[in-house]
């Protein structure tokens, strides 16, 4: 359907971007270094890698920097899984996992969801001797909920050390639940645990494409080997290093999101909408029928509020709303009143 928007004041609530914009420190760093773009970036982003390692109190050997998390996922699925081995992902999760597996002709098994939550028991049941990689988004995209630490430990205890357990923590900085897993601590015991993080979400650098992987020295060597030179551009690396140190911006983004998320969940529930309680910067709204979903989607779009239908993710009766600034949450509620 082609939408005729009432004006150009469109509220984009479809890609989980930070409504506060980019980190001011990142913006300042780019402004100061923009005249150096005639120079090539560092191979493997060595300076940014050092900044991340220092931030996490790890060695640089445990960090891999990539052009967004998609590059790391591409390397992982393309090169770590050979013919005859399989990948396990939840039935309702970030669509890129499935798309990359299809591109590289990787056998993919889909674990079941339980009340819109990732079911760790189903993942364990789906494993066999040929399972090479398990990917879990935590918080899960698009549902926004999490697996807690005891669930992750259960999974790690019940899969082979030869199976890589990959936790995509793109939205980890938005989590307020104290039971959220401390994956970096768990890596000391479980060397097959790989953690993915990004600068696209809370740091506000989605357009620059920078992500990073935390893993054992041996695993990071493989990522480095398969990465072509210069995939992370110079300005992206400079901005990410600055954003990493912008603690006030991260704090402000977290607090704004938590306040707006609490308000929006409460008001949507009062209006009778079916939602999944979120630990991220978006809310998953599901309906009994696809036609009902489309009706509400069209109503939002007609009021310049652009949300994301979840068909490509695996649910044709739901959409996902990126949490905006608190003052814009009321626009959503006003629009959704029947």
pLDDT, the chain, mean: 95
Cα dihedral 67, 72, 77, 82, rounded to 10, equals 110
The span from the CA of 6 to the CA of 22, in Å, is: 28
Instruction: Tell me the pLDDT band of 1, cut-offs 50, 70 and 90.
Output: very low
Taking only the tens place, the pLDDT of each residue in 143-170 is 999 999 999 999 999 999 999 999 999 9
Contact predicate 243/249, CB 8 Å: yes
pTM equals 0.95
The span from the CA of 223 to the CA of 105, in Å, is: 20
CA distances from 311 to 95, 114, 300 (A): 10, 18, 17
- Domain limits, the chain: 11-21+248-336, 25-244
Domain 11-21+248-336: top CATH class: alpha beta
Cα dihedral 196, 202, 204, 205, rounded to 10, equals -10
CATH code, 25-244: 3.40.640.10
Taking only the tens place, the pLDDT of each residue in 240-295 is 999 999 999 999 999 999 999 999 999 999 999 999 999 999 999 999 999 999 99
pLDDT score at 282 = 98
| Residue 66: its H or E element | strand 63-66
The arithmetic mean of pLDDT across residues 135-141, rounded, is 98
Taking only the tens place, the pLDDT of each residue in 188-233 is 999 999 999 999 999 999 999 999 999 999 999 999 999 999 999 9
The arithmetic mean of pLDDT across residues 72-85, rounded, is 97
pLDDT score at 10 = 85
Residue 26 phi/psi, 5-degree rounding, is -65, -45
């Amino acid at each position: 359907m082609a939408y005729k928007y009432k004006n150009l004041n469109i509220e984009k609530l479809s890609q989980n971007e930070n409504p506060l914009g980019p980190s001011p420190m990142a913006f300042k760093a780019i402004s100061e270094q923009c005249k150096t773009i005639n120079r090539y970036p560092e191979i493997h982003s060595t300076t940014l890698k050092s900044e991340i390692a220092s931030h996490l109190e790890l060695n640089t050997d445990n960090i891999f920097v990539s052009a967004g998390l998609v590059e790391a996922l591409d390397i992982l699925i393309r090169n770590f899984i050979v013919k005859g081995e399989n990948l396990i992902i939840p039935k309702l999760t970030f669509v890129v996992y499935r798309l990359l597996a299809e591109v590289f002709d990787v056998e993919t098994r889909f674990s079941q969801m339980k009340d819109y939550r990732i079911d760790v028991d189903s993942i364990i049941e789906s494993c066999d001797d040929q399972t090479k990689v398990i990917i879990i988004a935590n918080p899960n995209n698009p549902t926004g909920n999490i697996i807690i630490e005891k669930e992750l430990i259960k999974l790690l205890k019940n899969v082979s050390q030869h199976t890589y357990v990959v936790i995509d923590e793109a939205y980890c900085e938005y989590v307020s639940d104290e039971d959220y897993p401390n994956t970096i601590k768990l890596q000391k015991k479980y060397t097959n645990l790989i953690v993915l993080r990004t600068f696209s979400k809370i740091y506000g650098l989605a357009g620059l494409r920078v992500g990073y992987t935390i893993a054992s020295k041996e695993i990071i060597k493989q990522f480095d080997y398969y990465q072509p030179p210069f995939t992370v551009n110079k300005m992206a690396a400079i901005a990410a290093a600055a954003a990493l140190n912008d603690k006030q911006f991260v704090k402000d983004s977290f607090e704004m999101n938590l306040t707006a998320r609490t308000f929006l969940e409460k008001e949507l529930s009062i209006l009778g909408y079916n939602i999944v309680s979120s630990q991220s910067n978006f809310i998953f709204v599901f309906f009994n029928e696809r036609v009902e979903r489309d009706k509400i989607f069209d109503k939002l779009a007609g009021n310049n509020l652009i949300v994301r239908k979840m068909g490509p993710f695996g649910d044709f009766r739901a959409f996902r709303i990126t949490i905006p600034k608190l003052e814009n949450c009321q626009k959503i509620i006003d629009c959704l009143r029947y």
